Structure 1
Amino acid sequence: MAKGSERRREETREKIISAACDLFSKYGYHNTQVMDIVKAVGMSAGTFYNHFTDKKDLYEQLTLESLESLRVSVKKMREPVDIWSPQERSKTLQEMFNTVFDYIDNNPQQFIMLLRGGFGVDEELDGNIWNYFLGFAEDAGEDVQRWMGEGVIEGIDPMLFGHACVGMTIQVIHSYLIDKRNSREEVIGNLIKMILAMFESYLTEEGRKALVAAQDQAAR
């Protein structure tokens, strides 16, 4: 009985979140009211307040859960990889972006909501959201720092590289979701080419030798 009640409570919470995500993505945070959400779900305001303190509480839980889920999904980027191998670099990026776009394709409204209404809601919440995006850049920056230590690349600020990769990816995802001018395969393919081009422009002499050797091997 308790399990059944718990399941129904979770189902109700998910319905509220789903409706709120749809409304936030369409109209933004400030133009969506609690009554709009409960009307869309077909329940009373009292039921809403059994699950969330207010609209801000709902938005914060939804937003931070989405970002945490997304960050977990790109953890593969931090796994050890044979960074000396151009093939491994490309393969790892392909796997990473497949993971990212699996998430995006399964949760398009949540990501649109983040892009359209992620800031300007509340100073504290804005800071929390920014810290998550900063975390993505830090993850990438730690990889770059490690690769510099291995002697593959040089002359680059790891954190700036991380910010460049994350910022570019977010912009491209926005275009993919809103403009719909390119297929998933085209978007991923171009992201990989752009990131590899940036990465390879900072190769050390040894890194360039490894790249040339791999290209010669592939041409045979």
Structure 2
Amino acid sequence: PVEGGPPRMASLSVAVNADSLATWVLPALVPLAEQFRLDLHREDQDHTSALLRDGVVMAAVTSQAQPLPGCSSTLLGAMRYRPMASPRFLARWFPRGVGAAALHRAPVVVFDRKDDLQHAYLRRRTHGRADPPSHHVPSSADFCTAIRLGVGWGMLPDLQSREPETAGELMDIDPGHGVDVVLYWQQWRLQSTTLDRLAAAVAQAATVHLIQPPSG
């Protein structure tokens, strides 16, 4: 290396869903950033394991519990999502409450074309009868902003929606019908202090921020 040049740093390649990255994973990785290069791949939690399977990353936050060949799988906890909207949007599109007809008409915000959270909620609440107009906003922060501004309703994690909800900018359109997305940590099954440190940092943050299963 050139004298005085940047030091060589090992790379940590991790696949993470956008909401986890925006709310709890990135802060957990900050202490490692001084010693390792972070190579973060954003992908839907139902698809992050494909990047691990293909060897693109060494670890992934995923909704898949079954470990991939050559990998280990550890439960992290659950992120709770609730259908949220601005008060003005709620008053306009759901004046008589949430029902199949209203859900079929009311615009919905979807992260991207792999994001099935909103439509999974719709299938459950309307028995598959709702197909509302959809807006695609593929950024976690902008997705929340679009809902707050009244572009449509959408499923937001409590980690992201609590503050604007407390401020009166967001409301739960259908209390009691949230969805818990259970997340797992999968990584290559290797003896590696680097992977061990990475896994420990993520697991510790998950214990603080994610819903944990009841003990015992």
- Name the structure with the higher helix share: 1
Q: Give the TM-score normalised by structure 2.
A: 0.24
In the superposition, the TM-score normalised over structure 1's length comes to 0.24
Larger radius of gyration: 1
More RCO (CA 8 Å, sep 6+): 2
* Greater strand fraction, Structure 1 or Structure 2: 2
